[in-house]
A and B are shown apart, each in its own frame.
Chain A
């Protein structure tokens, strides 16, 4: 890749990021929906712990899970299913005639997605602090930001891989996204310490970055109250490895599935 290509890709990335940020801000109903709705579910899970008489630290676990679930929803629907939406809107072909790399477009989408989801997650943090009075351990902001960054990198790299898979899918994309919501919350211990799943939790964490990411963020914020799965440092290393793996997978599968979709004539096929 020469300097000119790189400059083009950076511009494409910025352009796609701009669309994601401005597009989200232009649609207040989506903003409210994405910011408020996941928190209602989170409130229900906090109240379940309260109904069971669990220690307060578990309520904090559920609040953190609720906040992080907004990122997973964005990864699935905003990254994974994005190319499916584009196909339904009849503009997927524009992505493929553009002179820039598809990875640059997906990266822009991911960065814009993280920014907007972080903005929305402020509501969840506010609910946690002012309504449920959650407490977190004093933690270094730089350390927390680093863990957050590596977690998001792994999750959005996975989202890029999903988006390449969904090039081939029609309505299955919708159902796959639905199937990857609650089952992933369970396997990742989104609302409870993943350790509670025993061996199943360990296996799930080894293949799904969401579980490790949630556990790492909890360990950073709650210390021993997080009931962590493995030491935090190991989790960060594993998340970084997941990022590299999924970025490579996304690149390879995007190229392969683009070819396959073209060959089978599915790239512009709507209403499948």
Chain B
């Protein structure tokens, strides 16, 4: 099993890189010959990745959510998986490279630094924690995807305003579609983040009797949740169009990243298990 984990750990970044390269090639060249090749490669990558995560769970007897680098690997997988589902639902393929790039970065870092981890605190073996972490990570994947589509929207918007009809104009879907993709990804991210917060609130008092609701990790996540909540509600009620909603999405993303960096590196939190 250990040998399989090592092999998959090397194989995964290569698969993500291949997938990214094929999507990038398709973006630049738009060859009919590429057809479904990019989708098939991404599907295989996701299957291999899920197998790798299962192998880690079986080998170390706990879900791979106990170190930064295990979590990075799950983020890479959840981004790829979320994008794959989005592509299947919308059949919009021109944007894959921009999303898969994040999976490549997270998986490469994970594969380089990850190590065997047999001993973990008992609290991290809890099943409710698994659900909490998975929903939180999928929620953050939604936020990342929403931000990527937000950036693509912004780029196309600028190109159209400035009469630039290059690659961005030719290969990206319409502004309306990019806005919708960004919005739906944000909504899905928001729902999953809500689920993670709710599970956390239910489970926290049992797992950490001395925890505080003013913990930096909790307040940071709540702030991210609020930004997206306001953005989505405004879009829903005030019919917030394109650029204004995209600004919300991008601010939410920046706040989410800042919150993760601050709470994981600078602040003391009960969330630090490693």
User: Does B bind A?
Assistant: no
